[in-house]
Amino acid sequence: MDLETGPGDVFVYYYARQYDQALVEIERAITMHPDPAETIFPLSIIYVEKRDYAKAIHEFQKMGNVPHGLGHLGNAYARSGRKAEATAIVPKLKEHVDKTGVGRYEIALVYAGLEEKDKAFEWLENAYQSRDKGLTYLKIDPCLDPLRSDARFAALIERVSIPKS
């Protein structure tokens, strides 16, 4: 089952900021197909947006040392006020960038959560220069909401060529 297009459109509700409905749908998906490999991430990001950081962090930790999970874990730590733990994620992500080229967008997520806008934009620019696929979520990712009011965000969206709605 592919939860990106699967039952109940979990991600449609998530990106529409309808987190209660997204949670209902992911819980339904878990009941229908209890595969943690497919449900940990969507469940975790929903918990973050519902500000249930303890549950989100617990779930993200199950993902291990993968850039996608680490970036969102760092964002969750930051948003929950655990700034030291969020900052400690960045070197792990930099290791991934050095080894595999993956993790630039995720570092930006950590800095967005920390509300360190200059660093977040530095890493978004780095992601842009390296054509990081994470930028495909630039316009809709709730983790980047703290950056949306900054003129640099609109300029980046324009450069990434995401059509305005």
* pLDDT band at 61; cut points 50, 70, 90: very high
pTM, to two decimals: 0.90
C-alpha R_g of the chain: 15
Neighbours of 98 (CB within 10 A): 9
Give dist(CA 46, CA 49) in Å, integer: 5
- 93 by Cβ neighbours in 10 Å (0-12 / 13-18 / 19+) ranks as buried
Residue-wise pLDDT for 63-76, tens only, equals 999 999 999 999 99
Residue 142 token pair:
């709730």
Residue-wise pLDDT for 16-53, tens only, equals 999 999 999 999 888 887 777 788 999 999 999 999 99
Cβ atoms of 51 and 59 closer than 8 Å: no
Residue-wise pLDDT for 127-143, tens only, equals 999 999 999 999 999 99
Domains of the chain: 1-63 (1.25.40.10), 65-165 (no CATH)
- Helical residues (DSSP H) of 2-150, grouped into ranges: 10-15, 19-32, 36-49, 53-61, 67-79, 83-100, 104-113, 117-129
